[in-house]
Amino acid sequence: MSHGRFKNPVEATLTGIKDLFRRQPLADHLSERDRLDGKTCLVTGASSGLGFAVAVDLARRGANLIMACRSGIPEAGERVKQLSGSSQVDMIHVDLTDLDSVHAFCEELKTRGVELDVLVSNAGVAPPRARPTRHGLDEIFQVNYLAKFILANRLLSEGILPNATFAGNGRPAGRTPRIIYISSDSHQGASAIDYEEFGVYYDYGVRKSINMYSYYKLVLNTFATELARRLQSEGQVDVSVNVMCPGPVNSNIARDAPPVLKGFMKLIFSVFFRSPEKAARPVSYLTASSEMEGLTNDYLHMFNRKRMDEKVYLPEEGKKLWAASAAVWRRVDPRAGTYLLSDD
């Protein structure tokens, strides 16, 4: 079974470097006047790398910031406070490899009475081989996609992310909540979604791992497009859903790379890849810019506005993916029936 276009991690890394030199129409109209005062922003995977840089900038812009992290509590939050000059920073533990942890995280938000203005869904992994979670799912499938599907369903069904469509607590015009999914342009050219094998765990090694990463970014982008469709009606956007690829970032995403490649990748990352601070700027644009008010189903590759892989936009694909995701969730988690927005 083939899931993508890259033969190995080195080829994927070099492709990322080439992306830095491509020019497309820019969407960079972000200034220090684009503030988030009074708005509650949740960033997942915020303890390091891109997520940490996004957290610092959103806090600096006045957001009431919630950092959702598996590790780095409380030191990462204290560092964000120091760098941003803001005291409005909180951290809550969540481990996307454990669905009990995902539900506990949502319960904590609910108990605190949180109503989000922004969700930046950033957390992700790039393991060098297949690894099963306690739920019998491939880690990259669960962390990079299914947990995000579940989190969106819970936040929307309970109105933690205010919306009229599913919770009846939509925001007035001019205050549209925003969801931003951090993805990768490596999804371009990934194999079509295999619904017969969807959610089925099987073993693979390092040669396959980079294509699995690209494949599940295609899955994520297809879901985001379908979610955007479901959260608008007759031209009215209830919650905006946008996707961005930060380009090649000097982060710890390759922390699980094989030892034979780790040194090479670390060198390439440090020399050629963008700093997390620079890569965070397009995320801040999608989060804070007044230009993005009420806009949905947009895709930024760095600051370049472009189309995703055409497979992402097929309406029948979005519906099939939703149904397949709901079926996997029901199979591994008895709580799915309580929080699932729809089975199809």
- List pLDDT tens digits, range 142-161: 999 999 999 999 999 999 99
* C-alpha dist (Å) from residue 75 to 46, 82, 90, 237: 12, 11, 11, 38
Share in percent of the chain as helix, strand, coil (round to 5) = 45, 15, 45
Query: Would you state the pLDDT for residue 308?
Result: 97
Query: Quick one: average pLDDT of 217-236?
Result: 96
Q: How far apart are the first and last CA of the chain?
A: 26
Take residue 111 and report the two structure tokens written for it.
Answer: 């108990």
302 neighbors 245 (Cβ within 8 angstroms): yes
Residues sharing a CB contact under 8 Å with residue 263, sequence separation 6 or more, in sequence order: none
Distance (Å, whole) CA 182 – CA 280: 10
Per CATH, which fold does 23-124+145-192+213-245+275-334 belong to?
A: Rossmann fold (3.40.50)
Measured CA to CA, the distance from residue 184 to residue 273 in angstroms comes to: 14
User: Which sequence spans correspond to the domains of the chain?
Assistant: 23-124+145-192+213-245+275-334
Cβ burial of 252 (10 Å; 0-12, 13-18, 19+) is: middle
Four-CA torsion 143, 144, 146, 147, nearest 10 degrees: 50
Residue 206 has pLDDT above 90, yes or no: no
Dist. CA 27–CA 302, nearest whole Å? 9
68-125: per-residue pLDDT in tens?
999 999 999 999 999 999 999 999 999 999 999 999 999 999 999 999 999 999 999 9
Q: What whole-number distance in Å separates Cα of residue 65 and Cα of residue 42?
A: 6
